[in-house]
C-alpha cells in the first residue's frame, strides 16, 4: 500500500506551479452600498483575500461554498473506488443536487444531499456525521457581505438552521464562524465550526479548521482540529494536503482518530468531468481497543453541473 502513497506524496511536493490568471469578473460578493470607512475597509480586504479562497472551495466543491446562500443550481454525482489495506476494495456512489422551483422565489431550493457536512467528514473521517442522503427544502433567508443564514427541512424528518459569519483580520487572513442547530427525530444537536484561513501566496492557501459537536442522545462531546494546505497548479488542477485529529470526552477523554492525506483533483475531457486521487492514512481507535493503522487509496470519478 505504501508503495502507492509515498511516491505520489513526493511528486506532489515538486509538481509545477502556474500563477492564476486575473479574473475578469470579481467573484467576491462583498460590495455594499454603504460608504462608511469600516465597510469600505472590509470590502477591500474581503476582495483581496477571497479570490483564492473562493476558487479553492469552488474547485473542490467544498460545503463552505455550496451551502452559502449565494450559491446557485448544482448537480453532483460521484463514484468512489477505494482500496483499504485491511478490508480490500470498497465502492460508494452518491448524488447531490440543488435547484430552484419554477415560479417560486429563488431563495427556496430543493436539495438532495446527506446530513453530513462533507468538509467535516473529509478532514475528520472518524466523525459521527451521518452520510445518508435525503430530499429536502432549503430557504436562504439572507446573504450579506459578512454573513448568511438558511433553514433546511428534510424528509428524514429533520430541521436545521445554519448561520455563517466571516471577518477579515488582515489582507491575508480571514476567520469564519459557522453555527448549525438541528433536530433529527428525537435527537437535538449542534455543531460549531471555526476556520482561520491564511493566503500564503497566489498559489497556496492554508486553512485551520475546528469543530465542536454535541447531541443529547449520546450526551458526549466530539471535537476535531486540522489543517488543510491548498496548492494551485492550473485552472484545471489543484492539490490539497490534510492533517487532523478527532477526539471525544466519553467514556473517557481520548483521540478517536488521527488523519493524514493528500488529494489531487483534475478537470479533464469536459468541463463537467473531474477525477480525484487520494492516498490517506488513519489511526482510528474504538472504545476499549488498541489504536490501529489503516492506509487506503481512493479514486473518485465525478460529474458536476453548476448553474444549469
Check residue 194 and give its pLDDT. Answer: 94
Domain 2-306 bears CATH identifier 2.40.160.40: yes
Helices marked H in the chain — which ranges? 2-13, 37-59, 63-66, 118-123
Task: Note the pLDDT of residue 22.
Answer: 34
Question: pTM value?
Answer: 0.77
Q: How is the chain split into domains, by residue range?
A: 2-306
**In which element (H, E) is residue 178 found?**
strand 173-184
Q: Evaluate whether 232 touches 15 at the Cβ level (below 8 Å).
A: no
Opening angle at CA 25, ends 233 and 264, nearest 5: 20
Task: For Cα atoms 190, 99, 129, give the angle at the middle one, nearest 5 degrees.
Answer: 25
Q: How far apart are CA 149 and CA 161, in angstroms?
A: 8
What was the pLDDT predicted at 13?
38
Whole-number pLDDT of residue 98: 84
Task: Confirm if 213 and 194 have CB atoms less than 8 A apart.
Answer: no
The pLDDT of residue 119 is 74
Under 8 Å between Cβ of 280 and 259: yes
31-59 as b/e: b if 16+ CB within 10 A:
eeeeeeeebeebbebbbbbbbbbbbbbeb
Closest CA to 196 of 218, 180, 211: 211
pLDDT at 30: 42
Q: Looking at residue 101, what is its pLDDT?
A: 76
Written as nine digits, the cell of 131 is: 452520510
Alpha-carbon distances, residue 7 vs 2, 3, 81, 82, 216 (angstroms):
8, 7, 20, 18, 45
pLDDT along the chain (308 residues), means of 10: 41 37 38 43 44 72 65 82 88 86 80 75 72 80 83 88 89 90 88 92 92 82 92 92 88 82 94 94 78 89 82
Q: Report angle CA 300, 305, 308 to the nearest 5 degrees.
A: 170
Largest Cα–Cα distance in the chain? Answer: 60
Which candidate, 174, 172, 226, places its Cα nearest to that of 199?
A: 172
Q: What is the pLDDT of residue 104?
A: 76
Amino acid at each position: 500500500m505504501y508503495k502507492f502513497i509515498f511516491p505520489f506524496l513526493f511528486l506532489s511536493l515538486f509538481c509545477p506551479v502556474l500563477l492564476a490568471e486575473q479574473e475578469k469578473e470579481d467573484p467576491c460578493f462583498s460590495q455594499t452600498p454603504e460608504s462608511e470607512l469600516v465597510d469600505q475597509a472590509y470590502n477591500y480586504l474581503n476582495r483581496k483575500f477571497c479570490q483564492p479562497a473562493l476558487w479553492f472551495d469552488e474547485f473542490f466543491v467544498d460545503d463552505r461554498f455550496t451551502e452559502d446562500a449565494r450559491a446557485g443550481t448544482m448537480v453532483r454525482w460521484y463514484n468512489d473506488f477505494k482500496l483499504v489495506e485491511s478490508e480490500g476494495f470498497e465502492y460508494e456512489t452518491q448524488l447531490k443536487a440543488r435547484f430552484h422551483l419554477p415560479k417560486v422565489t429563488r431563495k427556496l431550493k430543493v436539495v438532495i444531499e446527506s446530513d453530513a457536512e462533507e468538509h467535516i467528514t473529509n478532514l475528520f473521517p472518524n466523525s459521527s456525521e451521518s452520510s445518508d442522503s435525503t430530499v429536502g427544502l432549503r430557504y436562504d433567508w439572507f446573504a450579506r457581505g459578512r454573513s448568511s443564514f438558511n433553514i433546511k427541512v428534510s424528509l428524514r424528518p429533520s430541521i436545521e438552521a445554519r448561520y455563517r459569519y466571516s471577518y477579515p483580520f488582515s489582507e491575508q487572513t480571514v476567520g469564519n464562524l459557522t453555527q448549525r442547530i438541528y433536530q433529527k427525530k428525537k435527537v437535538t444537536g449542534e455543531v460549531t465550526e471555526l476556520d482561520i484561513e491564511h493566503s500564503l501566496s497566489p498559489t497556496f492557501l492554508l486553512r485551520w479548521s475546528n469543530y465542536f459537536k454535541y447531541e443529547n442522545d449520546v450526551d458526549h462531546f466530539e471535537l476535531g482540529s486540522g489543517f488543510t494546505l491548498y496548492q494551485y497548479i492550473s485552472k484545471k488542477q489543484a492539490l490539497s494536503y490534510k492533517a487532523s485529529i478527532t477526539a471525544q470526552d466519553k467514556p473517557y477523554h481520548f483521540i478517536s482518530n488521527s488523519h493524514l492525506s493528500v488529494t489531487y483533483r483534475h478537470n479533464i475531457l469536459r468541463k463537467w468531468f473531474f477525477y480525484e486521487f487520494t492516498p490517506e492514512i488513519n489511526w482510528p481507535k474504538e472504545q476499549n481497543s488498541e489504536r490501529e493503522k489503516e492506509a487506503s487509496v481512493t479514486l473518485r470519478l465525478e460529474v458536476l453541473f453548476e448553474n444549469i
